[in-house]
Amino acid sequence: MRALPFSEIKSTFPVLHNPANRNRAVPITEKDFHYAFTNNLTEEQSKAVYDRYVVPVSGRMLFQGRSHCTCGEDGWEEVADLALDWALAPTSGDLDQG
C-alpha cells in the first residue's frame, strides 16, 4: 500500500474526514480552496476563482493524479472528453479514476 503525501491528506481532510460526506456535496472554505485547488495562484487570484467557480465539492475522490484545477492544467481535454463520454452514455462507465 502506498503512503499518501501529507499535502494530499490535508487538502482532502475538510471533506473526507466525515464518512457521511461520501454521498453528498460539501461546502469548502476559501482558505481550503486555495490550499487544495489553486495553490499555484496568488491569494488574490485564488479568491477571484473561488468567487466565480466554487461549488460544494464531492465527497468522492475523482481523477487521482491531477490537481483539482484540472481546467487550468495541460491535459484538461482528456478529462473533458471522459466527462462528455460519460454524460452521453452515463451507464457505460464510472468517472472514478482512483
Per-residue pLDDT tens, the chain, 98 aa: give them.
667 678 777 877 777 788 887 778 788 899 988 998 899 999 999 999 999 988 777 776 666 767 666 777 788 898 888 888 878 886 654 555 44
84 in any annotated domain: yes
Distances, alpha carbon 21 to alpha carbons 24, 27, 41, 79, in Å: 5, 10, 28, 24
Distances, alpha carbon 49 to alpha carbons 16, 42, 67, 91, in Å: 23, 11, 15, 32
Give, rounded to a whole angstrom, the gap between the first and last alpha carbons of the chain: 14
What's the pTM value of the predicted model, to 2 decimals?
0.54
Residue 81's domain comprises 6-88
94 in any annotated domain: no
Alpha helices (runs of H) in the chain, residue ranges in sequence order: 6-16, 30-36, 43-53, 76-88
- The answer to whether 22 and 59 have CB atoms below 8 angstroms apart is yes
* Per-residue model confidence (pLDDT) at position 17: 80
97 in any annotated domain: no
* Per-residue model confidence (pLDDT) at position 63: 61
96 in any annotated domain: no
Which amino acid appears at position 25 of this protein?
A
1 in any annotated domain: no
Number of domains in the chain: 1
95 in any annotated domain: no
18 in any annotated domain: yes
